[in-house]
Amino acid sequence: MRTAFHDQLDSVFDDLADICDQVRTAVRIATDALLTGRADLAERAISGDAAIDAARERVEDNALAILSLQAPVAGDLRVVVAALRMVSDLERMGDLSVHVAKIARLRTPHIAVPAQCAPIIGRMAEIAESMVARTADVIRERDVDAAAELRADDEEMDKLRRASFAEMLGSEWTSGIEAAVDIALLGRYYERIADHAVSVAGRVVFVVTGEQPTVA
């Protein structure tokens, strides 16, 4: 009986990792739409969010069923509670990808990112996708060390966002207010994806150690 119960708990974590994989795909497609001006990719990213929402509902249903039928305690309860919080973070990451895609769709057939900001936004997108991919591995392996390493990328993301503001406020900015608003929003979306990735990884640390990770 206990083996079957722990198989259920492991299955919830497997589902969380699968959602993380879906989010990674969403980030990549939304970014491709953003940097190429392709409306079809933007629509694909937006419509794909329904699958992430449905997956979140399945995880929540399974976790709540475990709570009601198995009445877990101690470490097992920690797993279930963490899973419910993690899946909320993951869904929000998917939503943020949709926001990126909507900016891309709004500006098509033009590209929303001015050339002078393309390296910064491109790097932010690269970091976001990498962090989501590594978060999936953290979930699958319950890797505490890998979870801690995500914070360095999050710090780089914060620096890049500050750099994007420096570009917009600099004397060489010639792309106008509309583009500046887009860049400010995009920077926020990618930064928040990174923040949620760190949050999910931190909850894995909590599951494994029973302790909240320290914030540097």
pLDDT in tens, 8-24: 778 889 999 999 999 99
pLDDT band at 2 (very low <50, low <70, confident <90, very high): low
Model pLDDT for residues 63-103, shown as the tens digit of each residue: 888 877 776 667 788 888 899 999 999 999 999 999 999 99
Q: Is 74 left (phi over 0), alpha (psi -120 to 50) or beta?
A: left
Higher pLDDT, 1 or 50: 50
pLDDT of residue 70: 72
| CATH superfamily, region 2-209 | Phosphate transport system protein phou homolog 2; domain 2 (1.20.58.220)
Phi and psi torsions of 31, nearest 5°: -65, -40
pLDDT on residue 84: 93
Per-residue pLDDT for 1 more than 60? no
Residue 137: CB atoms within 10 A of its CB come to 15
- Tell me 207's DSSP state: H
The structure's pTM equals 0.92
Domain residues of the chain, as ranges?
2-209
Is the pLDDT at 216 greater than 50? The verdict is no
More confident residue, 48 or 212: 48
Residue 75, SS3?
A: helix
Average pLDDT over residues 142-171: 93
Amino acid (one-letter) located at 140:
R
Contact 117/164 with Cβ under 8 angstroms?
Answer: yes
